[in-house]
A and B are shown apart, each in its own frame.
Chain A
Amino acid sequence: MPQKRPLGGIKTHGEWLLAGKQLAKPDEYTVFEPQYVFLPMLQHIGAPCEPIVEVGQSVKLGQPVGDTEEKVAAPVHASVSGTVKSVEEWPRVGGGKAITVMIQNDHRYSVWEEQGHGELPSASVKDRLAAIRKAGIVGMGGATFPTALKLDRGEKEIEVCILNGAECEPGLSADNALMIQQTQKIVRGLRYIMEICSAARGLIGIEEDKPRAIEKMRRACEDEAGIEVETLPSIYPQGGEKQLIYALTGREVPTNGGLPADVGVVVANVGTAFSVAGALAHGSALVNRVCTVSGDVLHPQNLQFPIGTLVGDLIEHCGGFKGAPSKVIVGGPMMGRTIDSLQVPMEKGANGILVYAQEHDHLYAESPCIRCNRCLEACPMRLEPWAIDRAYRKQKWATCRWLQAESCINCGCCTYVCPATRRLAEKIVEAKNELARQRKEAE
């Protein structure tokens, strides 16, 4: 049982929240093979990579196509084998553009020779971290922070490594499917992560609405010393890093830029652990991931796809739109980003596609805050969203700072519950960015 009841948040079952958005087969995923992949040189938090292939060159699966010397970065690999058709600026999810390598798939999936070096059984921590970096692994829950850096504990003691098996957002089931289909590899990935951090304990936190995943994981962990599977209540945002740590260990990651490592914890998404297992056991690079395509498409399902597949291709594969589409989101309903073109690629951190048809999409007008306190009760960080919103709109930065606006994790719970349908999360994120900017300026 978890140690602490989660603070705030929204119960995900029983809520009308996801009515009709559940998949028919949330425990499975199928494989999709696109004609083209578009690989942005920036799919992680940090510095962009430089393309290291040329137009017309043929590339193998797993061959690096972009890399950099910068510390905070992760290389990008060809996710199919084929021919490089172009290297040019291309739109990304969330607006903005990045240099993107476009590869035409030859459907042979011939693997890059230099890749498979087999297992690294006795490798040192340093070698393993290097292998993880070389494989281009980033946080696959959506945070996309380079995993090699995250696992590099430096001087800090890590006691617990936590695997995040609480789906990042309501309505997604990609992690669930991965846990059921790739149980062994995920546990192995966790073992590697524990070894790298020299942590004695491993915890896998899974929400209670995924009984099959819990059962399979439990069975796989029976003979694993030090690894336990914990059932978590189905409350969004249970998959938030700070929320997960609090629920499982009762520890609180310090505010003002504290890291999980400060309280002796490292958290990784199950997808990340899966990729780590692939990288360290087989030397394979991060080229595929699983996502949930749901909402108003004809056949909602979980799909494994080569990274860089276009959103439009995945929707097309799911039978196309059902009803006239009005909004397409990459990610989930609470934190996902709308896109204004179907020709944007799915990156390493893209865990879902959600389509709203016109009849399911509403525009919400803001009305005055009535100080009902619902936002405060829903906030998993225990902030006072209404007060930050008010202070931000009056540009009272000192008040925003006192109210800890910078601790907001942008989960969207406050906006979701507000009866006045105020765009709280949006404003608080703006306040947060402004405060961060001011802090940088002052330094």
Chain B
Amino acid sequence: MAEFRMDKNESAEVFEKNKESRFPALQASPHLRRGSGTRAIMGNVLLALLPATLGSVWFFGPAVLPYYLVAVFFALAADALAQFLRKRRVDTFDLSPVVTGVLLAMSMPLGTPLWFAALGPALGILVAKELFGGIGYNFLNPALLGRAVLRLAFPQQMSMNPAPSPPFGLGQSVDAVASATPLITLKEGGTLSAADLLDSFLGMAAGKIGETSALLLLLGAVWLLAKGIIRLRIPLAFLAGIALMAFVFGGNEGLFGAGWQTVLGHLLGGATMLGAFFMVTDYGSSPSAPLAQILFGALCGVVTMLFRLYSPFPEGFTFAVLIVNFSVPLLNRVIRPRVLGEKNRSLLS
């Protein structure tokens, strides 16, 4: 745009004209925005999930791809349906349904009927999110709700844990029968060797499509942390809760009897890593004050371990976090940061 100088009257005239056309009203400050949108955040979450997603293709083969596609498609469809029913405009498309879809696909075992992958995200989004008023108002994690419903409705299929067969599923043939995951081994009183743990870390242990590799999930977590999309508070509290419970109650010979292998097994196995960095950190279903976040994270970890140790579900993460999710509105109501200059904060409103 060429620079031009106007004389006073002319410039004033342009200003007046402009004001009429664009800014009839005075505007409130601030007049600047950083401008990174919701979509950019969700896009970064997807990017962070990419290593584990690609990893799942390596471990299980292209057979996993339809799960992702179907889950994402139905997540989007459910979202569009909800927007339509609420007569909202769909053009504020923010990628969050895609995240829900991918997370759900990652938490299915290979070999389940594909329509599970359609049902899960659709239910998760319609029930957990839209029923409560849409994004930001949901206190239940949509991906977890979809997962819980599937687990309850189809316990048999959903608790399968095929063993990976890299590269691209061409290694040993995929064993569709439930094989022993690290958590099941622990549940049955077994112990894990260092080699088992390394498998768990790299992603060679049996498990769900996208949950097996702690390494690839951690890669994504580093991205999220570097981008400032999540903070360490909740994941650390969650992992600490798990580790502590595993150490105290996880051993076979009474309290405090757990070896480091058991503790690590709980930290690396099951949905722990996916959960720590991609699920308990979900914005809507976690509280916002720092203290409340720590409580929430720790509680998620502790309840997860209660499920793992004392219930018939060795992979009780899903139910545990959903249950703790119910405390989020309460936590937000009673805990807030101490305002600058505030003497004694009243905990209860």
Contact = CB atoms under 8 A, between A and B. Distances in A.
Contact of B339 (A243, A339, A407): A407
Interface of B is mostly: loop
Contacts of A376: 288-289, 337
Contacts, number: 193
Nearest to B349: A402
A324 B30 contact: no
Contacts of A328: 15
13 contacts: A17-B34, A243-B340, A338-B31, A340-B26, A356-B31, A359-B1, A370-B38, A371-B136, A384-B289, A387-B332, A402-B349, A404-B339, A412-B30
Contacts of B16: 341
A335 B12 CA distance: 24
Interface string B319-349: 0000000000000100011111111001001
A384 B337 contact: yes
B182 interface: no
Given A362-B33, A403-B336, A416-B32, 5 more contacts: A341-B16, A358-B18, A381-B339, A407-B339, A407-B342
B135 interface: yes
Interface in A383-428: 383-384, 386-387, 398-399, 402-404, 407, 410, 412-413, 415-421, 423, 425-426
B57 to A, nearest CB: 29
A369 interface: yes
B28 A419 contact: no
Nearest to B19: A340
A336 B349 CA distance: 34
B11 interface: yes
A381 B11 CA distance: 40
A382 B290 CA distance: 11
B31 A327 contact: yes
Interface residues of A, number: 85
A322 interface: yes
A253 interface: yes
Contacts of B96: 370
A367 B94 contact: yes
A239 B337 CA distance: 22
Interface stretch (B2-10, B157-165, B207-215, B246-254): B2-10
Interface in B57-79: none
B131 interface: no
Interface string B122-142: 000000000000111100000
A315 B23 contact: no
A370 B336 contact: no
Contacts of A329: 29, 31
A255 B108 CA distance: 51
A326 B18 contact: yes
A325 B15 contact: yes
Interface in B212-249: 229, 231
Contacts of B29: 329, 331, 333-337, 410, 412, 425-426
Given A316-B11, A362-B33, A367 B38 contact: yes
A337 B33 contact: no
Interface of B: 1, 3-8, 11-12, 14-16, 18-19, 22-23, 26-38, 40-41, 92, 94, 96, 134-137, 229, 231, 283-284, 286, 288-289, 332, 336-343, 346, 349
Interface string A251-278: 0111100100000000000000000000
A389 to B, nearest CB: 11
Contact of B341 (A254, A323, A354, A417): A254
B134 to A, nearest CB: 6
Contacts of B40: 419
A116 interface: no
Contacts of A133: none
Contacts of B38: 367, 370, 419-420
A420 B33 CA distance: 10
A399 B349 contact: yes
Given A334-B30, A335-B29, A373 B283 contact: yes
A321 B229 CA distance: 39
A368 B30 contact: no
Nearest to A372: B283
A369 B346 CA distance: 26
A255 B1 CA distance: 49
Contacts of B14: 321, 324-325
A320 interface: yes
Given A381-B340, A421-B33, A320 B6 contact: yes
Contacts of A361: 22
Contacts of A319: 5
A337 B27 CA distance: 7
A374 to B, nearest CB: 8
Given A362-B33, A421-B33, A425-B28, A382 B136 contact: no
Nearest to A327: B23
A416 B35 CA distance: 8
B134 A368 contact: yes
B36 A255 contact: no
A384 B288 contact: yes
Given A312-B8, A340-B26, A419 B32 contact: no
B280 to A, nearest CB: 14
Nearest to B22: A326
B221 to A, nearest CB: 17
Report, nearest first, the 10 A-B pairs whose CB atoms are least far apart: A412-B30, A426-B28, A402-B349, A252-B341, A371-B283, A334-B30, A369-B136, A382-B337, A404-B339, A255-B341
B43 to A, nearest CB: 11
Contacts of B19: 340
A382 B285 CA distance: 21
A387 B288 contact: yes
B37 A383 contact: no
Given A333-B30, A338-B27, A402-B346, A320 B8 contact: yes
A379 to B, nearest CB: 9
A371 to B, nearest CB: 4
A436 interface: no
B332 to A, nearest CB: 7
Given A252-B341, A320-B7, A335 B30 contact: yes
B288 A386 contact: yes
Contacts of B137: 368
Contacts of B284: 370-371
Nearest to A429: B28
A415 B33 CA distance: 7
A319 to B, nearest CB: 6
B340 A242 contact: yes
B332 A370 contact: no
A98 interface: no
A127 to B, nearest CB: 34
- Residue among A319, A340, A343, A398 with most chain B CB within 10 A: A340
B11 A321 contact: yes
Nearest to A380: B340
